[in-house]
Amino acid sequence: MVDSKKLYLAPMDGVTDRAFRELCKLHGADFVYNEFVSADSIIRNVEKSLKKIEFSDCERPIGIQIFGNNSDTIAKAAQIVESRYNPDEININCCCPMRNITDKGCGAALLKDINCLVNIIENVIKATKTPITVKTRLGWDEKNIIIEELVIKLQNIGVKKIIIHCRTRSQMFTGFPRYEYLSQLKSNNNINIEIIGNGNVVDLESYKNMLNTGVNGVMIGRGAIGNPWIFSNLKNLKIEKIDSYRLIETVEEHIRLSLKYTNEKYTILTMKKHYSGYFKNLPYFKNFKIKLMMSNKIGDVIKILKEIRSEYKDK
């Protein structure tokens, strides 16, 4: 038997907006993160980016994740986030593997120069009072796995928590995550920093495998898309079957929350990222999915959801 640990909602661009964070909180997430935001856009006061940082007190504790490649820029952005929003922590992204981020020297590209990365983080720590945490990968590729050295260096400069996606940048989101590196870190007597494990935790088996490494907490990313119940399920160590009525009720709540914070156009677009996750276990759902994906008005979406409720009410 394993003991459950604190569960974190991962920062996911275009996914972890206010509505989804609040929904996951309602279903048991202990700690949530915003969609990552460019340090440069924060300094330039870009409204679209600043909207991604806004949060409600019901979401606390919450971490604001920022990314960049310039020490002074990231430190200044962190100061703005601290003074304007007062989050529970500020997280520096050294993890994102996407080319549009790494080609700019940001995200996982920072792992190419560990000393530069550490200097950036140290500068942010000196510039702020808010706890600074880091999300990273094992390294840039298989030949350059630097996670142990990085963890020790970050621990020594005062980083409060390290979230580790157990893949290299070259793996992107494919292949098996390497949980054994977490076990090695937690068994190292020179390491006492809080470590949160991340990577392919999508069910009880993967959750238990992650817990067995000794991590202090577990971060859920893609496993939560269209599945906010994953947090309560993992806490209870039991997968609860969600009937069609509760399923539709949750989708409608997601839509209401989105409309509370954004407009109809945004809500329509962002919900399309969640439908496959929500309805993946409903048989013969293809025609309904096509309707939902083609809908451009909330009124039409609600009508389709009523059709789905009627179709699957006894299933």
Q: What is the pLDDT along the chain (315 residues), one digit of tens a residue?
A: 455 689 999 999 999 999 999 999 999 999 999 999 999 999 999 999 999 999 999 999 999 999 999 999 999 999 999 999 999 999 999 999 999 999 999 999 999 999 999 999 999 999 999 999 999 999 999 999 999 999 999 999 999 999 999 999 999 999 999 999 999 999 999 999 999 999 999 999 999 999 999 999 999 999 999 999 999 999 999 888 888 899 999 999 999 999 999 999 999 999 999 999 999 989 889 999 999 999 999 999 999 999 999 998 765
The domains of the chain, with CATH numbers, are: 6-235 (3.20.20.70), 244-311 (1.10.1200)
For residues 35 and 79, give the distance between their C-alpha atoms in angstroms, rounded to a whole number. Answer: 18
* Other beta carbons less than 10 A from residue 43's beta carbon: 17
Tokens for 138, please give them: 């094992």
For residues 64 and 87, give the distance between their C-alpha atoms in angstroms, rounded to a whole number. Answer: 7
Amino acid occupying residue 34: N
**Per this entry, what is the length of the chain?**
315
Note the pTM of the prediction, 2 decimals: 0.95
CA-to-CA dists, residue 186 to 196, 198, 239, 281, angstroms: 11, 14, 28, 37
